[in-house]
Amino acid sequence: MYRIFLCILLSAYSLHSVSAQDSSVYTNTQYQSNSAPKTESIRILALSEGMVILQIGRKRYSLRNGESTSTGIKLIKADSEDALLEIDGRQQNYTLSQHIQRGTPSPSHYRFLKKEETKKKMTLYPNSHGAYVTHGFINKKPAEFIIDTGATIVAMSSQTADRLGIDYKNGRQGYASTASGTTKTRSIYIYKIEIGQFVFRGVEAAVIKGRYPEKILLGNTALRHLEMHFKGTALTLIQK
């Protein structure tokens, strides 16, 4: 039987109660706009080649190139760096976590503060449960992650792995003790994880039988490629 580091499982079961509605994460990117009536707040949550996840008000949309939201925002093209969106007939490139204030079709209603052109980085703030939650992709499929600096490995539930189409049943088998008893685990390698501008390939992960953790734990098999800096409650991830 292969040993699985149990610290990730303790973290998983302490965090499984975090609901999707509490998973909003804010970055330090800001916007300014001139006065415009009936404005609409738009935020880019995740980027990948040919795909973007947007939050418009309280709704989230996953768009591929050429698709539009019900409110008429169209994705022209996207990659891991930025997305070219068409909003009210105007096309412009937007970066991860950039806030867009939609008002009238006039371009004069948009002014943006550009992000610094430095190393790839992302700044996160904790949600109401104290967890750092972010959105991204696993093998091009949308996924939600908890940044877990105490986890030695990326971990997810078998329910999540099934939803993402990950073949884990032939993975190396192990066992772990949880609050509900002993459960089976499978050790696998994920082809690609994308979070913001960060791309991780060939990432070792554990699949835990059952529903928990509800969100994917982004452990040190991915985080070891990043520098992590805390300033107050803000967590900034920087590519090494």
Using the predicted structure, report yes or no on whether residue 63 has a pLDDT greater than 90: yes
Nearest to 215 by CA among 171, 155, 165, 153: 155
| Mean pLDDT across the chain | 79
In this structure, what is the dihedral angle of CA atoms 123, 225, 8, 172, given to the nearest 10 degrees?
140
Q: Which domains does the chain have, with CATH numbers?
A: 7-22+120-239 (2.40.70.10), 31-112 (2.30.30.830)
- % the chain with pLDDT above 90: 49
pLDDT digits (tens, 9 = 90+) for 101-154: 776 444 433 333 344 445 788 899 999 999 999 999 999 999 999 999 888 999
| Per-state percent for the chain, helix, strand, coil, to nearest 5 | 10, 50, 40
**Beta-bridge partners for 77:** 84
pLDDT band at 39 (very low <50, low <70, confident <90, very high): low
Q: Are strands 154-157 and 198-208 parallel, antiparallel or unpaired?
A: parallel
Predicted confidence band of residue 179 (pLDDT cuts 50, 70, 90):
low
- The single-letter code of the amino acid at 152 is T
Cα distance between residue 180 and residue 93, in whole Å:
48
* Whether the predicted pLDDT of 223 surpasses 90: yes
Q: DSSP per residue over 48-107, as a string?
A: ETTEEEEEETTEEEEEETT-B-TTS-EEEEE-SSEEEEEETTEEEEEETT-EEEE-SS-G
pTM across the whole model: 0.60
User: What pLDDT, in 10s, does the model give residues 180-218?
Assistant: 778 889 999 999 999 988 999 999 999 999 998 999 999
Instruction: Pick the range with the lowest mean pLDDT from 44-48, 72-76, 221-225.
Output: 44-48
pLDDT at 178: 67
Closest CA to 153 of 211, 213, 230, 238: 213
The pLDDT of residue 107? 41
| Residue 30: pLDDT over 90 | no
Half-sphere exposure of 209 (CA within 13 A, CB side): 15
**1-15, 29-43, 96-110, 188-202, range with greatest mean pLDDT:** 188-202
**Could you identify the residue written with the tokens 């975090």?**
18
Residue 164 has a pLDDT of 97
Helices and strands (H and E) in the chain: how many: 3, 19
